[in-house]
Structure formats: structure tokens, C-alpha cells
Structure 1
Amino acid sequence: MSEIEAGTRPEKLGIREVAALAGVSHMTVSRVLNGHPNIRPATRQRVLDVIRELDFKPNSAARALATQRTQRIGVIVDSSVEFGPTSTLRGFEVAARSSGYSVSSVAIQDDASLTPEAAVSYLIADGVDALCIVAPRSSSVSALRRISIDVPVLVLKAAKDPNFLTVSVDQQLGTTLAVDHLVSLGHRDILHLAGPLDWLEARGRERAFHTRIEQWGLKERAIVVGDWSADFGYDYAAGLKGVPEYTAMFVANDDMAVGVVHGFHERGIRVPEDVSIVGFDDLPLSRHFLPPLTTVRQDFHALGMKAMEVLRAALEGRDIPQRSKIPSQLVIRSSTAPPRSS
């Protein structure tokens, strides 16, 4: 029978009482509670057994004093209206909660008066242990470089960065898969409808597209720069006169792609008979577009969870790569087919 079962349960429950019953220091209990890796398995289990028997729930303020951490992560979202950033934030929040962290988030593009510098100051004043930047524009990242930040910072972007940890879905892989799919169908003239090039993901896809087109020795066309919206895709396609010379389009996101399909339909341009279209993101509705959209799937939930995993490792002093990538996947549906006969 354990000491607790024998009726010696302490009236006051705190880290020191748990430590006394487990026969360890209070700092060891604190390390166990915060998932520190350098604890012997037998010691960790002994502490966890006492915590379970006492039904001990650590006071967050006390834990913050003991660890010099608040168990809170700050997230800056450049836009909270797009599907990708919203889904990534949800995945991040799920992973944070399961790790014992809370999340404070700020959307800066939705509030023109809130600069990246002000957002960082707000979150640091809130006592966050680390920062995560979701869906960043290049201007936001440049602003971060001008700020002295004393907590780990992770940016969701594909390119390696000497100043920040980075996690991303592999944009180059996704773009390469899209182009290669169109080439395998026989397309040799492909237009790229890009997202706004201040967005790092849009820039990454645009560069990867040109690289792959050059590698295949295909016709180089000037890109069209959009704004992520279905309205832009519709306006572009509806404004065309006649069937375009190109036989395929690689569109930087599914929203613009569905707008293009709509605009083409009103002009009597058939998808995929006249123009094949590949999107990017794999929105939940993409399989229900007419025609169902061939697209590059990004696992935004996994991206958010990976970002939290990397930040937690950084906070716990574990070795982590400066750059982490999640693979993308091509999903082939009915919006792509061999090119029309000339």
C-alpha cells in the first residue's frame, strides 16, 4: 500500500508536496510536467504515478514561476480569412493544447492599424514563450528582422532562414508535381496564374514553376498575378476573347481556379477540353467543383501540428532542424486532360 493510500494524503497539494511523496526535488517534478527529455524513465514514471494518485493539477501561475515560462505561444497571422492560414492555426492550437500550452493569436492584415512590430510587442507583453508566424508576406518577415525578439520564433515559409526556425509544406515539390502532370498529358504551353507575390508561398510557387518549365524546355509565358480570390480568377477568364493559345493553366490556389472555370464557362471555353486547370490547396469543396479540380493537396492541419512540435522542442532545449518540410501531394481529378487538337 502506498503512502497516499495509507491515508497520508497532504492537505495542500503543490509541486513540493508531489516532490516529497515521489522522493525527488521540486525542480524534477517541474521538468516532468513540462516534458523535459533529460529525466530517467523510472523517475518520470514515479512522479507521474504520484500525480495521478493525488489527481494533482498544477497551478499555471506556480508553474510559470518555477519554469520561467507561461506555457503560452503567440501566433501572428498575416490573413485570417484564407482557408490555409485558418486551417493551419487550428492544427497549431490542437497541438498546443495537447502539449499543455495555450495560444494567443493576432491577425495583422485584418487590422491595417496593427503593424508586425506592434503585434510582436503585444504578444511579448502578454508573456508568450515563443512566436509563430502564419502565412507571412515578405514585408512582415522583413519587419520581424528589425525587431529584437528574445523568444524562439518560427516562420511558416519554405525557404531556410538564418534568423528563424521554418516549417512549410513543400511548395517546390507540389509545383513540380503539377507541371509534370500537365506535361505527361502532352501540354507544352502552360500559363501560371500566381498569387500576390508579396506572399512567400506565392513567390515560392512562381519560382518553382519557372524552374520546372525551364527544365522541360517549354514555352515561357509572362505570368498573371492574382490576389487569391475567386473573383480575380473569374474576371481574368471572363475578359478573354476566344480560346487562349495556351492549353493548360497552373493556378496558385483553388479559389482562383474555380473563378477561372466559371469565367471560361461563360466565354464558351471548356475545361478540360480546351484548357486544363490545376489548382493548389485541395479545398474541401474542390472535389465538388464542375469539373472536379485537379489540385495540389497541402495538409494544413499537419503543418500547424509540426510547427508546434518544433517550437516545443526549441523551448525544451532539444536538437531540432532549422528547416522542416511536409510533403505535398497531387490529387488528379477531371479538370485536366490531354491538350486539344490543333
Structure 2
Amino acid sequence: MADVAREAGVSGQTVSRVSTGRPNVDEDTRNRVLAAMRKLGYRPNSAARALRSGHFRNLGVIMFTLSSFGNMRTLDSIAVAAAAAGYSITLIPVQHPTQGEVTVAFSRLSEQAVDGVMIIIEAHALDEADIELPPGLPVVVVDSSARYQYPVVDTDQAEGARLATEHLLDLGHDTVWHISGPVHSYSAERRRESWAETLTTHGRPVPDVIVGDWSSEAGYRAGLELAARPEVTAIFAANDQMALGVLRALHERGRAVPADVSVVGFDDMDESKSFWPPLTTVHQSFEEVGRHTVSQLIEEIEGAPPSSVSVLVPTELVVRASSGPAPRHPTADA
């Protein structure tokens, strides 16, 4: 910094103002300092700056699983939003959301010098383990049933399931069968509860739930079971990957989609429009979830009081060719 100051003919304080982007430097002086920086190959020392300011421009992420589509899209959107705000992220995967593992994750993050933490552990175990989070550290919880006094950001799971179920009922189907995500999943629970509540509100029977694991293989197995039942004319799968397995099973069993059975998914993954037939699904904006999560955490880091109000990002039904009017006479020998 002293070398840059000599080269530009300014004080070290002026170089500091330029390197930190402060506005109280006239344009000619700023350009002279920047030219000196380029000439001398000067790079601001972020570690030294962090020691002075107490901020590291680094956000921690604790995540339960890297295998699910939703979690990976959420992580991607958080990384993009963090980079746009001038922050990096440090990811700590957690195999099992227990007190011990999450405590270790926080310990590892503290060694990485983070300014705040985002928790993406959507399993009920986070609640049940009575996990204690370090006091004074800004925290935002994403897609979880946690009952802590931290900001929570999530897709409006209940709204999405209601839109999917009502869409099928509006097409004339007597009821809607549901293939759920895992029992420990908060997202799966909210979608399952909303599906059942919507059927009850409309005075329709609530069929037994088939529980899957988010995979296309689980959807395929459930689809084979449902394809053997001629009364099944509408299926709401809790995610697009399971819906893909359902489409395969119905095709193999000779049940046409949507002439015999309508299928709706949830996620609106990029490939959904290329399924055959293209999949009607619920779109959730992972980009908005990431943006809200990062902005809420940065607000806390910068001194704003933590909010206990949940942010629910709206969903949207995307109608494609996999859903259609209920058949007048379901094929008894299908």
C-alpha cells in the first residue's frame, strides 16, 4: 500500500479508500491510484482487512444431503446470490442431522472464519435432536421444520401441492393419488398434508399415500402399483423425478397419459418439459429462495435484528401435456 501511495503521489489513507471502494475520493485521484495498483501488481490483502474489520466476507452452509435435486438447486442459487453480494461460501455436508454432527459442523465453520451460517437440513431430526446453535452467530434456516428463533426461508410447499391437486380435480377426476417423499422430510410432509387437506375441502376421498424416496426408481415402483388399479385416473407425485418413474410404469402397463391417467409433478426441473409426455408440474423458484436467504443473512451480519418471520416463496403451476380431462369410463381390464 505504501508503494502504491508513493507511485500515485497520495497518502496511504487515500489508497485504502480506493481499495475498499469508498466514494469520498475524486475521480482523477481514484484513477491515478488504480493505475499505480495495476503497474505494481497490488492486490488488497483480504485476510488483513478481515482482521481489521471483523468481517470475513464468507458465509457458511451446513447441508444434510447433496444428492437431492432441490438441495443442489438451493445451494447453487445461494452460491450465485452470495457471489453477487461479494461473499464466498464454505460448505460443510452433514451425514446425519444430530446434535453431535451439527455441533462438529459449526466447529469446522468457526475454523473457516465465517460471518454467518445457512442451514439446509430439511429433515425432522433437526427439530427432534434439540440442537443448540452457537449464540451470537447470524443464522438463517432454509426449508426446515426447525422451531428456532431464526429467519426461515422456504418455498410455499402447501400452496404448490394445493395447486397441483386442484388442477386435477378441476379436470374432472374424482380424486387424486399421491406419491410422497420420505417420511422424515419436511417438504414431503407439507406437500402431503396440503394434498390431503385439499381433497377433504373439496369433499373427495383421500386415498392411502404411497411413500417414496424422491428417486425415479421409487416412482416407477409406485407407478406399477397404481397402474394395476383401474380406478386410478390422477396421480400427484411429490417431485418430478418420481413422476418420471410413474410415466415409465404407466407406459409399460398400457395406461395412456393423459388419456387414461393424468400425472403432475413438483419442482419443474429443466428436463420436465422433455419428458414424454411433457410433465405438468409445480414450479418453485430456487433463485428466489437463494436470494432471500443470502440477503436475510447479510442483513443480520450488518447489524439488523434477526427476523422470526418466515419467508414463503410463491409457487406456480406449469401445465403441460401430462394432465388432461378424466376419462369417462376407466378401463376395467387395464
TM-score w.r.t. the length of structure 2 is: 0.84
Equivalent in the alignment of 1:324: 311
Instruction: Give how far 1:182 is off.
Output: 0.9
Q: Distance in 2 between matches of 1:128 and 1:183?
A: 48
Equivalent in the alignment of 1:40: none
Secondary structure of 1:73's counterpart equals strand
Q: Contact 2:97–2:125 at 8 Å: present in 1 too?
A: no
Secondary structure of 1:9's counterpart equals coil
Instruction: Give how far 1:170 is off.
Output: 1.2
Which amino acid in the other structure matches residue 98 of structure 1?
Answer: A
Q: Contact 1:170–1:325 at 8 Å: present in 2 too?
A: yes
1:221 aligns to 2:207 (yes or no): yes
1:334 aligns to 2:313 (yes or no): no
Q: Distance in 2 between matches of 1:92 and 1:138?
A: 22
Identity %: 34
Equivalent in the alignment of 2:9: 8
Equivalent in the alignment of 1:59: 45
TM-score w.r.t. the length of structure 1 is: 0.83
Instruction: Give how far 1:73 is off.
Output: 0.7
Q: Distance in 1 between matches of 2:142 and 2:10?
A: 47
The one-character-per-residue Cα deviations of 1:120-169 (angstroms, maximum 9, x if unpaired) are: 22112222111112252111344473343431111112768442211111
Moved more, 288-297 or 163-172: 163-172
Number of residue equivalences? 315
Which amino acid in the other structure matches residue 180 of structure 2?
Answer: A
Which amino acid in the other structure matches residue 317 of structure 2?
Answer: L
Equivalent in the alignment of 2:163: 177
Secondary structure of 1:46's counterpart equals coil
1:207 aligns to 2:193 (yes or no): yes
Equivalent in the alignment of 1:99: 85
1:196 aligns to 2:196 (yes or no): no
1:45 aligns to 2:19 (yes or no): no
Question: Structure 1 residues 48 and 189 mapped into 2: Cα distance closer, same or farther (>3 Å)?
Answer: farther
Q: Distance in 2 between matches of 1:274 and 1:229?
A: 24
The one-character-per-residue Cα deviations of 1:225-252 (angstroms, maximum 9, x if unpaired) are: 1100000111122245634423211110
Q: Distance in 2 between matches of 1:158 and 1:217?
A: 30
Residue ranges of structure 2 left out of the alignment (5+ in a row): 38-42, 330-334
Instruction: Give how far 1:53 is off.
Output: 5.4
Moved more, 304-313 or 235-244: 235-244
Which amino acid in the other structure matches residue 288 of structure 1?
Answer: S
Equivalent in the alignment of 1:26: none
> 1:133-282 alignment to 2 at 5 Å?
133-143=119-129, 145-157=131-143, 161-240=147-226, 242-282=228-268
**Aligned-pair RMSD on alpha carbons?**
2.9
